[in-house]
Chains A and B, each alone.
Chain A
């Protein structure tokens, strides 16, 4: 950790708090307010100010290639996400929770994580899954209904999606307690020290599990980063339903630092996440990042956001599009040729085409799979039910129904 970062986080354990509380303020500022850490302005310019100071070294060290990679990741994941919505509309998926608008938040932290770090996602973290090397098809399989999980969590250090809001934060804290017991924190070995990241949204901050996770993490000084994507809307409920203060300020009450970052600025998210992860890995305890962003689309394909929010608000955020922001920044930096953007678009379209075909060809699971993994070890009662079900299905063998022939 750099000295400047250490000064910002280490000097006051109770957190970075640039501004006074806004308790009682009925409406939060729509740009996240002046406390928001932001590195790229709407014209693509690099911002330098006092709030950003601790993160400047990380951002200064970023190359054109680094910024291009982040741009590419964001374009690819947006294209995959668009495909998810399209596939649901075609009946190929049962449901799709879109991430449109949240690409910078997810790619920013996803690329800041080290291989030995471990992520505990909610159900919308397609960008993080992509960064952790999870096959997109595995994610689509879950929403198609061919699997309940889809990937081996330990193969990617990326836990299964968790749909019950907030449950996963406690798993993340427990996992971090395990990291501590294994001695994989604060050794100074950059390939050994590990952090755990708990992903959740603004709505989840009302859950008991999130608040209990904060308590357990704080008293145990766990190596964990709580990453809250505040996308403004918990289905139809705005932030004001869940909080009267900026969410990042909650951390202070629990005894660890919290900051708000512009979740639509991938450079800022990346830099803040790097610092927070290092804070955790080095043994300084938990850290809360509130990535202030916006859910551009519906909650899921089953939702209709026109029922509860103004199109003017959506339009306001469209002007803050995270991909446009980093593209403008690349142009501001000046070393990215125009054909780069065309190549990325082409790559995205090819990826989408490949995924589309693969999803459409995805086979249904075998019926026995619903029994196979209920228990890790033998269970006589379940074995009996499985055998009964197989015999029942087999009793139709040879009938017209089973053959699918003419009737």
Chain B
């Protein structure tokens, strides 16, 4: 057992993957000498060299596009996008090329690459540093999209993502980077699959589905609700595409009530897809409409207002109460 922060869980996972497979590369802006602006790749260039931990020019399309070429040559690049809001210059490469390459090659060209994106707000940052843009990538078939919420997951999920032969968008909740947890980093294998949703806290009254930074918020909400005798079952989805509808569905069958929580804007956010799937599959199990707690449908606000924008404990509990009122 080692106590790791979520950020250092990724560092340790990257290190283990790089030790296991010489084809694994890390590339991005400032990932080498500096160790990344969040220090996630700290120490890797020193130990694995400049050919495997590559400080790239400041050009996101170039980073992702060259990673595609490296993957075609048999490498397994792990790309770091410095901040969520900086991924858009690479959006063309990701959606036009990364997502489609395997399909259009009829399986002859594989792209085993991971694109890491520190995501979400709550850190008092300037514009473009606090976005939750998972919906764009969830809508692009051919990509797999996952979100970690704690150090154990960050440690294992990054390794599982690297092992996959499909491209993975890997979301890291930057405001949880420094949260600590004991991680069994000596274990031979991951405790669960990359996309397996987990019941982060069991409860019988209302299911709360969340991922990434909102898991901690929802667990805190569950603590508060418990004091009032309301049992929330918090589901950490982990895999967004594919979505583990089995674990989520079993929970909703039990509670009959679902609240979906994410930082991303409500309109066309992932909560809409979850709500649609749950009502299609479990209409007669539902005691209440599926409710969404999400960021407002606005550009991410100035940081002095972000606490009004981001879902928090009170907003989660407000929707829980509404779900229970039916």
- A residues near B (Cβ < 8 Å) are 120, 147-149, 151-155, 159-160, 162, 164, 167, 169-182, 208-209, 212-213, 215-216, 219, 369, 372-377, 379-382
Contact = CB atoms under 8 A, between A and B. Distances in A.
Contacts of A152: 105, 108
Interface stretch (B61-69, B127-135, B258-266, B287-295): B61-69
Nearest to B56: A216
B189 interface: no
Contacts of A374: 102-103, 141-142
B70 A381 contact: no
Interface of B: 51, 56-57, 59, 61-62, 64-75, 89, 92-93, 96-97, 100-110, 112, 141-142, 144, 164-166, 241-243, 245
B62 A373 contact: no
Given A149-B105, A377-B165, A208 B242 contact: no
Contacts of B89: 208
A32 to B, nearest CB: 30
Contact of B107 (A160, A178, A372, A379): A372
Contacts, number: 144
Given A174-B69, A175-B73, A374-B102, A164 B97 contact: yes
Contact of A153 (B64, B74, B109, B164): B109
Contacts of A175: 69-70, 72-73
Nearest to B108: A152
A212 B62 contact: yes
Contacts of B66: 170-171, 173-174, 177, 216
B22 to A, nearest CB: 9
Contacts of A164: 92, 96-97
B104 A149 contact: yes
Contacts of A213: 62, 65
Contacts of B72: 153, 159, 171, 174-175, 178
A166 to B, nearest CB: 9
A212 B104 contact: no
A-side interface mostly: helix
A148 B68 contact: no
Contacts of B65: 167, 169-171, 173-174, 209, 212-213
A265 B66 CA distance: 32
B70 A153 contact: no
Nearest to A142: B104
Contact of B75 (A167, A178, A215): A178
A171 B243 CA distance: 30
Given A167-B93, A170-B66, A376-B165, A216 B142 contact: no
Residue among B73, B102, B110 with the highest chain A CB neighbour number at 10 A? B73
Nearest to A174: B69
B96 A381 contact: no
Given A153-B105, A213-B62, A377-B166, 6 more contacts: A154-B109, A174-B71, A177-B70, A373-B102, A376-B110, A376-B164
Contact of A208 (B61, B64, B101, B164): B61
